[in-house]
Structure 1
């Protein structure tokens, strides 16, 4: 009996930083997704799945809007993306800040994370998140170092890379 193949789910994520009260901060939220189980309550950046044939930049804007209420004004790499249409195929090439793949646990995801700028004020809770807040970079670094288990696993490496931390 041949079992059907299961494929990784493409996702996009946004690192959104901003000065708040003179301190550089990252937008961090607590995960609150239906059926997420033990992952609920973990700290994460805004992220979500890319729909079939959806442009990754449109998916990122949609997900950030749904999860935070913010409007992205800049996505690093969007201006250098190349799109070509040949033989009925529209194909886009782009460079995210970081690509992360989980190799076990939960469900299989390949996450393309971008550095973004946004306008507006974050909501405090949505259907998929709660406790959205601007976390000072120093506090985020400390928490990643001391309690990495508090973070959604797919975001640990990219946040560490962004914050300039060494990997254990």
Structure 2
């Protein structure tokens, strides 16, 4: 039997307070992946059969954090095509990652998004859901990289670089 990678979606959830940029991090707790429990991650999850990727991101963020996604970068630029019994959405995520070895064969497409609501402290898959400043995130990736879920490390580094370039451009 042929085994296939599982498609997933993740969200870099942005928040700015008093001019300081934050993103949401959480600790991973999955019964089916005990070796990964306690790793730091961004909200993410598997896409259900025929589920629109943007709907999946909203669902996963809500299930893991209690927050409602109100904006996903790139969603309004996506193109929907319906013909001959097919409905296809074409989109561009911020980053894509694929596990090609390890416990879990997943491919995650990550989007930058914004939310509203009140954070839950934990769910049945996550604990310690919290806002972390980009400076703190940068320090964590430098000094504690091994505590992060590997699927998200490069994406988070890319985001830090993206935000630094955006900040220079805007100033």
Q: Provide the alpha-carbon RMSD of the alignment.
A: 1.2
For 1:85 and 1:35, the matched residues in 2 are separated by 37
* Higher mean C-alpha displacement, 143-152 vs 16-25: 16-25
For 2:118 and 2:25, the matched residues in 1 are separated by 13
Cα pair 1:25 1:134 within 8 Å, conserved: yes
2:40 to 38, 43, 58: 43
2:147 to 135, 142, 150: 150
Q: 2:26 aligned with 1:26, yes or no?
A: no
For 1:22 and 1:122, the matched residues in 2 are separated by 21
For 1:17 and 1:88, the matched residues in 2 are separated by 37
Structure number with higher helix proportion: 2
Q: 2:69 aligned with 1:90, yes or no?
A: no
1:129 to 126, 130, 154: 126
Per the alignment, residue 68 of structure 1 pairs with: 65
Per the alignment, residue 10 of structure 1 pairs with: 7
| Residue deviations 1:84-110 (CA, integer Å, cap 9, x gap) | 111111111100000111110011111
Structure 2 gaps, min length 5: 163-171
Over 4 Å off, 4+ runs: none
Q: CA deviation at 1:33?
A: 1.2
Q: 2:78 aligned with 1:81, yes or no?
A: yes
SS in 2 for 1:163: helix
State the TM-score, normalizing by the size of structure 1. Answer: 0.93
Per the alignment, residue 104 of structure 2 pairs with: 107
Q: CA deviation at 1:23?
A: 2.5
Cα pair 1:10 1:110 within 8 Å, conserved: yes
Structure 1 gaps, min length 5: none
State the TM-score, normalizing by the size of structure 2. Answer: 0.91
